Amino acid sequence: MTEILKNREYKKEKMKELLKKIHKGEDIEKLKEEFKDLLRSISPLEIPLIEQELVKEGISAREIAKMCDIHVELFREAVAGSEKEEMKDIPSGHPLHTLYEENKEIIKDAEMLNLYASTLVNTKDKKMRKEILGVLKGIANQLRAVGFTHYNREEMLIFPYLERRGITAVPTVLWTKHDEARGMIKQLLEILSKENEMEWEEFVKALKEKAAELSNALVDMVFRENNILYPTLKALLSEGEWVAIKGQEEAIGYYKVKPGDEWKPEAKPLHPYEIDTTLTAEQLLSLPKEVQMALRGQKLEGDKTKVKREGDLELETGYLSPKEINAIFKHLPVDVTFIDKDDRVRFFSGGDRIFTRTPSIIGRPVQLCHPPKSVNIVNRILKAFKEGKKDVAEFWIQMGGKFIYIKYVPVRDENGEYLGTLEITQEVSRIKALEGEKRLLDWRD
Amino acid sequence: MTEILKNREYKKEKMKELLKKIHKGEDIEKLKEEFKDLLRSISPLEIPLIEQELVKEGISAREIAKMCDIHVELFREAVAGSEKEEMKDIPSGHPLHTLYEENKEIIKDAEMLNLYASTLVNTKDKKMRKEILGVLKGIANQLRAVGFTHYNREEMLIFPYLERRGITAVPTVLWTKHDEARGMIKQLLEILSKENEMEWEEFVKALKEKAAELSNALVDMVFRENNILYPTLKALLSEGEWVAIKGQEEAIGYYKVKPGDEWKPEAKPLHPYEIDTTLTAEQLLSLPKEVQMALRGQKLEGDKTKVKREGDLELETGYLSPKEINAIFKHLPVDVTFIDKDDRVRFFSGGDRIFTRTPSIIGRPVQLCHPPKSVNIVNRILKAFKEGKKDVAEFWIQMGGKFIYIKYVPVRDENGEYLGTLEITQEVSRIKALEGEKRLLDWRD
């Protein structure tokens, strides 16, 4: 027996002991203390292997499943020593705190996934198999959210701050890894959907392999983030940058975590395009070794592009020149006409339109822009909008092979105050004919 | 025999004489002179009656049809004495000149319609019936354009100048009459489509009645316009106002007329919201009697609303405050993201979005906003846009019951110069489910 296997044998025995004690209901805090060294010595990738052996030895999958939560909890706390260290001076509610917290959840779910998939292999009972499959589907579906919350927040809110400072390699590598994990989750879900199309043995083998691969990838990412990305952010980002990130987090969402509220920043939000991109010596030296290595020999140039140009209009979500605004409206696939709160035409989009609009109607009361017989209806719609009783009035007509969709919507400000009404007209026959899917990667020149 | 009928008997004889001479090929100018008094004495509504009688007396429908063009020409010039008077000092190309010219065409078509419909009643030959029906369908379809060119220009380009001066009754009455004529054209087309569903006698009776009704309505409108509306415009509108009207005419289009180019205005265009709305005594006194009557006893108040407010952005087609621009983009049924010519995200629309966008991406190169593996495709699309080789790249995906349509379009200025690219995302399952029609008049509170 090799040294490794002997070692695993020992760990397995201790694990069994631990699990049994948990099962008996012994105090968790005391157990944590007692098995601290054991837990620290087990890598996250070893656990499922040991558990699998326990299953073989007759401990029922259900039994292990029950203990799973507690076990993962213990395991996580044990191995996450460095993480704990990192987190100790970050108050809850701080975006970095939230990211660390999410990583705990991700590790837990990755472990659970692996454990259940391994357990399934050794489960003969059909009812039990069904139960475990149900749990696996639940976890796999849940894990999809990692992609559109935790990873997405990093890609959209955080990476821009590194890119702006000239550090583009780290985000690119991480994003590539994120996408690999996303792909594996998709593949896992695909395998899970083929339960009745495949031989059981073949199915369960594919399932277990994919679960292990995904679990590895997720845990690997947690380690990369906790040890490279987050320390880098800690070294570089100012309070204002974190305030800006915090302000946008909610729109994307979190993975199984609700941020706390200990963090009370005072800085004003600083968006990526507003930051000073020069790296100080102090910042450079406090970067993780891996990042220092990556940057060595590279000319680090910050992105100095000014976002607000001379004459630009500052909008809530960007900067546009009047020329761009005109052109954007002209190129929209919908024609719009806007009447203000006093029912006067203020604006219409230019370009090719379904129903012609001419500057002569600017300032004209909308009631005078319609055939006299429909004025009454126009007024009733506007009344319903102003009173907040309706939020849309839609119509559709067909003429000369065109299918025209016309929508009126009240425009309100952030306080719900009525600012006017928008008429939106769209030729939708192309849309109505679309079938199936055509994705970005299907594009051909 | 009553006086009227005796008179008509006389006119009919003279008409017959005229038509025969036209048929023989006699010189039109000489005939015009010879029959001037006759033509002046015949009202436009009498002609079809006389022609119908001629048909009864054995002159073939085809014969009359051939003579129709020349006849209408002669008739029109004869009765249009006052119009000629009005037009004599208006150069070709002037919007008023164009309107008068169109009215000549409208009268001609109205007459033709009536003539052919009356002729059809007396036609026994099936081949001939088919031929005449073909002509009638052609005329009726052509007449639809009166609604969306001649009438539409008046409603959209001209009426605002009267409304702004407080004269709202005249536009409202005329628009109501326009809509009546539009309705009759629609009804006529409906009858024409029922040739094979109805008894011939019933069909031809309905057709003749509707044609006569429509013909009357069209001619009546020409008289109202030539005698009331146009003289009013002549009395009130300044050169700058006509210049503005002229600049927008083309977008709406003309009825069978191509404006000439004698008119060489020098004034700057004046939109309705830019004019001085006070009426001078001279203007008031040169208004047609009918309008003077209509305005008597009424307090004439011009519309003084300022269109451009403090802080408004002046766009090509209207005025909007930054607050309104933000709100409009939020309320659009499409989500947009705009990257400038240097591939940097400049703006995205706020509000509820399908794919979240956060301010952190403003100023970010678009290549860094995508998963690394799709960057190559993004670049190829942008290259094709910049080189002018493509004008759209579209994709559609389905997820969780949503059907999402994604479109990329290059945004160019009026000289075709590339300004950037717009990403447009829209959830279209509602649109895909629309069927049939729902019109404004179907709206219920």
Q: Which of A138, A267, A155 is nearest to A192 (CA)?
A: A138
- Cα distance between residue A136 and residue A204, in whole Å: 12
Question: What is B227-270 written as a DSSP string?
Answer: IIIHHHHHHH--HHHHHHHHHHHHHH--SS----S-----SPP-
Whether the per-residue pLDDT at B6 is higher than 90: the answer is no
Question: Do residue A422 and residue B323 have CB atoms under 8 angstroms apart?
Answer: no
Q: Which of B317, B329, B440 shows the shortest C-beta gap to A377?
A: B440
Average pLDDT over residues B174-183: 94
Residue to substitute from B176, B440, B442, interface A, most A β-carbons within 10 A: B440
Q: Which pLDDT score, from 0 to 100, does residue B108 have?
A: 87
CA dihedral for A351, A356, A360, A363, sign (positive or negative): negative
Q: Which pLDDT score, from 0 to 100, does residue A54 have?
A: 67
- Cα distance between residue B386 and residue B175, in whole Å: 46
Q: Are residues A357 and A244 in the same domain?
A: no
* Residue A67 included in any domain: no
What confidence category does residue A1 fall into, taking pLDDT thresholds of 50, 70 and 90? very low
Question: Do residue A326 and residue B315 have CB atoms under 8 angstroms apart?
Answer: yes
Question: Do residue A372 and residue B175 have CB atoms under 8 angstroms apart?
Answer: yes
Question: Do residue A422 and residue B272 have CB atoms under 8 angstroms apart?
Answer: no
Model pTM?
A: 0.78
* Residue A235 included in any domain: yes
- Chain A residues lying within 8 Å of B360, measured CB to CB: 156-158, 160-161, 244-245, 248, 271-272
Q: Are residues A171 and A223 in the same domain?
A: yes
Residue B397, phi then psi, degrees to nearest 5: -135, 160
- Min CA distance, B139 vs chain A (Å)? 18
* Residue B301 included in any domain: no
What confidence category does residue B43 fall into, taking pLDDT thresholds of 50, 70 and 90? low
| B302's tokens | 């011009």
Question: Do residue A438 and residue B395 have CB atoms under 8 angstroms apart?
Answer: yes
Whether the per-residue pLDDT at B331 is higher than 60: the answer is yes
- Chain A residues lying within 8 Å of B416, measured CB to CB: none
What confidence category does residue A64 fall into, taking pLDDT thresholds of 50, 70 and 90? low
- Chain A residues lying within 8 Å of B183, measured CB to CB: none
- Chain B residues lying within 8 Å of A365, measured CB to CB: 163
Q: Which chain A residue shows the shortest CA-CA distance from B349? A: A317
- Min CA distance, A397 vs chain B (Å)? 5
Residue B406, phi then psi, degrees to nearest 5: -120, 130
- Min CA distance, A65 vs chain B (Å)? 30
- Chain B residues lying within 8 Å of A157, measured CB to CB: 358, 360
Q: Which pLDDT score, from 0 to 100, does residue A115 have?
A: 85
Q: Which chain A residue shows the shortest CA-CA distance from B248? A: A358
B389: CATH: 3.30.450.20
Whether the per-residue pLDDT at A51 is higher than 80: the answer is no
* Residue A402 included in any domain: yes
The structural domain count of chain A equals 2
Residue to substitute from A319, A328, A415, interface B, most B β-carbons within 10 A: A328
Q: Are residues A200 and A328 in the same domain?
A: no
More confident residue, A285 or B326: B326
- Cα distance between residue A322 and residue A320, in whole Å: 6
Question: What is B290-310 written as a DSSP string?
Answer: HHHHHHTTS--------SS-T
| B425's tokens | 């995302």
- Cα distance between residue B73 and residue A412, in whole Å: 57
Q: Which chain B residue shows the shortest CA-CA distance from A271? A: B360
- Chain A residues lying within 8 Å of B186, measured CB to CB: none
Average pLDDT over residues B281-287: 86
Reduce the secondary structure of chain A to three states and give it as a string.
CCHHHHHHHHHHHHHHHHHHHHHHCCCHHHHHHHCHHHHHHCCCCHHHHHHHHHHHCCCCHHHHHHHHHHHHHHHHHHHCHHHHHHHCCCCCCCHHHHHHHHHHHHHHHHHHHHHHHHHHHCCCCHHHHHHHHHHHHHHHHHHHHHHHHHHHHHHHHHHHHHHHCCCCHHHHHHHHHHHHHHHHHHHHHHHHCCCCCCCHHHHHHHHHHHHHHHHHHHHHHHHHHHHHHHHHHHHHCCHHHHHHHHHHHHHHCCCCCCCCCCCCCCCCCCCHHHCCCCCCHHHHHCCCHHHHHHHCCCCCCCCCCCCCCCCCEEECCEEECHHHHHHHHHHCCCEEEEEECCCEEEEECCCCCCCCCCHHHCCCEHHHHCCHHHHHHHHHHHHHHHCCCCCCEEEEEEECCEEEEEEEEEEECCCCCEEEEEEEEEECHHHHHCCCCECHHHCCC
Average pLDDT over residues B40-67: 60
- Chain B residues lying within 8 Å of A335, measured CB to CB: none
Choose the final residue of a domain: B274, B307, B332: B274
Q: Are residues B353 and B427 in the same domain?
A: yes
- Min CA distance, A214 vs chain B (Å)? 19
- Chain B residues lying within 8 Å of A338, measured CB to CB: 318, 320, 324, 328
Whether the per-residue pLDDT at A412 is higher than 70: the answer is yes
- Chain B residues lying within 8 Å of A408, measured CB to CB: none
A126-146 helix and A61-79 helix, angle to the nearest 10 degrees? 30
- Min CA distance, A347 vs chain B (Å)? 4
More confident residue, A56 or B44: A56
- Min CA distance, B10 vs chain A (Å)? 44
Q: Are residues B248 and B155 in the same domain?
A: yes
Question: Do residue A396 and residue B172 have CB atoms under 8 angstroms apart?
Answer: no
Q: Are residues B219 and B124 in the same domain?
A: yes
Residue to substitute from B431, B435, B444, interface A, most A β-carbons within 10 A: B431
- Tell me the per-residue pLDDT of A171-209, one tens digit each, with 9 for 90 and over: 988 999 999 999 999 999 999 999 999 999 999 999 999
Angle at A134 between CA A133 and CA A140, to 5 degrees: 85
Give the residue numbers spanning the domain of A192. 80-274
Type of residue numbered A258: K
* Residue A353 included in any domain: yes
pLDDT > 90 fraction of chain B, expressed in percent and rounded: 59
- Cα distance between residue A94 and residue A77, in whole Å: 20
Q: Are residues B410 and B337 in the same domain?
A: yes
Q: Are residues A256 and A389 in the same domain?
A: no
For the ranges A119-123, B107-111, B190-194, the one whose mean pLDDT is highest: B190-194
Question: Do residue A426 and residue B333 have CB atoms under 8 angstroms apart?
Answer: yes
Q: Which pLDDT score, from 0 to 100, does residue A55 have?
A: 62
- Cα distance between residue A90 and residue A97, in whole Å: 6
Average pLDDT over residues A380-390: 95
Q: Are residues B222 and B144 in the same domain?
A: yes
- Cα distance between residue A432 and residue A402, in whole Å: 11
Q: Are residues B340 and B266 in the same domain?
A: no
**CA distances, A108 to each of A97, A105, A218 (Å):** 17, 5, 10
* Residue A197 included in any domain: yes
- Chain A residues lying within 8 Å of B371, measured CB to CB: 175-176, 178-179
Question: Do residue A347 and residue B171 have CB atoms under 8 angstroms apart?
Answer: no
Least confident residue range of A8-12, A232-236, B288-292? A8-12
* Residue B201 included in any domain: yes
Average pLDDT over residues B271-300: 84
Return the number of other C-beta atoms located less than 10 Å from residue A97's C-beta: 19
Whether the per-residue pLDDT at A93 is higher than 90: the answer is yes
Q: Which pLDDT score, from 0 to 100, does residue B289 have?
A: 81
Q: Which chain B residue shows the shortest CA-CA distance from A425? A: B333
Q: Which pLDDT score, from 0 to 100, does residue A269 have?
A: 96
Q: Which pLDDT score, from 0 to 100, does residue A30 have?
A: 81
Tell me the average pLDDT of chain B.
87
Q: Which chain A residue shows the shortest CA-CA distance from B378? A: A440
Residue to substitute from A358, A391, A435, interface B, most B β-carbons within 10 A: A358
What confidence category does residue A59 fall into, taking pLDDT thresholds of 50, 70 and 90? low
pLDDT > 70 fraction of chain A, expressed in percent and rounded: 87
Whether the per-residue pLDDT at A84 is higher than 70: the answer is no
Q: Which chain B residue shows the shortest CA-CA distance from A374? A: B441
Q: Which of A252, A320, A393 shows the shortest C-beta gap to B347?
A: A320
- Chain A residues lying within 8 Å of B176, measured CB to CB: 371-373
Whether the per-residue pLDDT at A101 is higher than 80: the answer is yes
- Min CA distance, A23 vs chain B (Å)? 40
- Min CA distance, A367 vs chain B (Å)? 11
Q: Are residues B246 and B321 in the same domain?
A: no
Q: Which of B326, B364, B438 shows the shortest C-beta gap to A160?
A: B364
- Min CA distance, A58 vs chain B (Å)? 41
CB pairs under 8 A between A and B: 323
What confidence category does residue A66 fall into, taking pLDDT thresholds of 50, 70 and 90? low
Q: Which chain A residue shows the shortest CA-CA distance from B332? A: A424
Q: Are residues A321 and A270 in the same domain?
A: no
- Tell me the per-residue pLDDT of A279-301, one tens digit each, with 9 for 90 and over: 888 888 888 887 887 777 777 78
- Min CA distance, A54 vs chain B (Å)? 39
Average pLDDT over residues A413-431: 95
- Tell me the per-residue pLDDT of B75-129, one tens digit each, with 9 for 90 and over: 555 545 555 566 778 999 999 999 999 999 999 899 889 888 988 888 888 888 8
* Residue A382 included in any domain: yes
- Chain B residues lying within 8 Å of A368, measured CB to CB: 159-160, 163, 168, 171
Average pLDDT over residues A198-223: 94
Cα torsion at A198, A204, A210, A214 (round to 10°)?
130
More confident residue, B53 or A395: A395
Whether the per-residue pLDDT at B293 is higher than 90: the answer is no
Question: What is B198-234 written as a DSSP string?
Answer: S-HHHHHHHHHHHHHHHHHHHHHHHHHIIIIIHHHHH
Question: Do residue B319 and residue A347 have CB atoms under 8 angstroms apart?
Answer: yes
A209: CATH: 1.20.120.520
Tell me the average pLDDT of chain A.
87
Question: Do residue B373 and residue A273 have CB atoms under 8 angstroms apart?
Answer: no
Residue to substitute from B347, B402, B424, interface A, most A β-carbons within 10 A: B347
Whether the per-residue pLDDT at B29 is higher than 80: the answer is no
